[in-house]
Amino acid sequence: MVIGGDPPDTPHVLELNSDVADIAEVRRWARSALPELHEDDLMDVQLVVTELVSNVYDHGRFPARLELAGTGRPDGVTVMVEDASPTLPKLRPSSPDSVRGRGLVLVDQLSEKWGVTPRTTGKAVWAVVPCTESA
């Protein structure tokens, strides 16, 4: 029996405001929410978090939030970012000359699967990051 703490699969939620996010602070929050992950898996999750949250600030609309779920499973973490913009993200090929535009390419490569779920107001962009090891 475990007393205290979150039950498995209880999502961790971070409300995002319209001020420019301190992405380092968002990564620290993700680290604290996922203490059981092996360092390599945590780095992958943090990179996906960074890309999806950055997209909210670059292309989204507020209110917005970040949610991490699946922390009780050894097989993966679901990263979900919701925002009020109805504009769906597009995976575009990047070139070596591109200064930006690699975020979803990285999410696609690091995730087992990812997608977009339209909402009544806005959308949710989610990715399942496989995590094979525990700390």
Nearest to 127 by CA among 69, 58, 61, 86: 69
Q: Whole-angstrom Cα distance, residue 121 to residue 86?
A: 7
pLDDT at 72: 52
| 92: containing domain | 12-130
> What total of structural domains would you count in the chain?
1
Mean pLDDT, all residues of the chain? 84
pLDDT at 97: 67
Residue 2 within any structural domain of the chain: no
Residue 4 within any structural domain of the chain: no
Residue 39 within any structural domain of the chain: yes
pLDDT confidence bin for 92, thresholds 50/70/90: confident
Residue 115 within any structural domain of the chain: yes
Residue range 63-84: average pLDDT?
85
Residue 34 within any structural domain of the chain: yes
Residue range 102-108: average pLDDT?
87
Residue 98 within any structural domain of the chain: yes
Q: Is the pLDDT of residue 20 over 80?
A: no
Residue 58 within any structural domain of the chain: yes
Backbone angles phi, psi at 124, to 5 degrees: -125, 125
Residue 27 within any structural domain of the chain: yes
Which CATH number is 84's domain given? 3.30.565.10
